[in-house]
Amino acid sequence: MKKLKPKMIGLHSHTLFSDGALLPSEMIRRAEAKGYSAFALTDHVDLSNIDFVLPRIVKVCRVLNKFWKIRAIPGVEITHVPVQEIKPLVKFARRNGAKIVVVHGETVAEPVLKGTNRAGIEAGCDILAHPGMILMEDVKLAAKKGVYLEITTRKSHSATNRRLFRMAALAGAKLVLNTDAHDECDVVDYAQAVRLLKSIGMGGGDIEKVFRNSVKLVKKVKG
User: pLDDT of 123-150, one tens digit each?
Assistant: 999 999 999 999 999 999 999 999 999 9
* More confidently predicted of 195 and 220: 195
**Predicted confidence (pLDDT) per residue in 25-65, tens digit:** 999 999 999 999 999 999 999 999 999 999 999 999 999 99
Residue 153 identity? T
Q: What is the pTM of this model?
A: 0.96
What span, in angstroms and rounded, lies between the C-alpha atoms of 54 and 45?
A: 9
Domains of the chain are 9-220 (3.20.20.140)
Q: Work out the pLDDT band at 97, boundaries 50, 70, 90.
A: very high
- CA-nearest of 46, 42, 6 to 221 is 42
CA dihedral 38→31→132→220, nearest 10 degrees, is 0
Give me the residues paired with residue 10 across strands: 39
Vertex 102 angle, CA 220 and 20, to 5°: 120
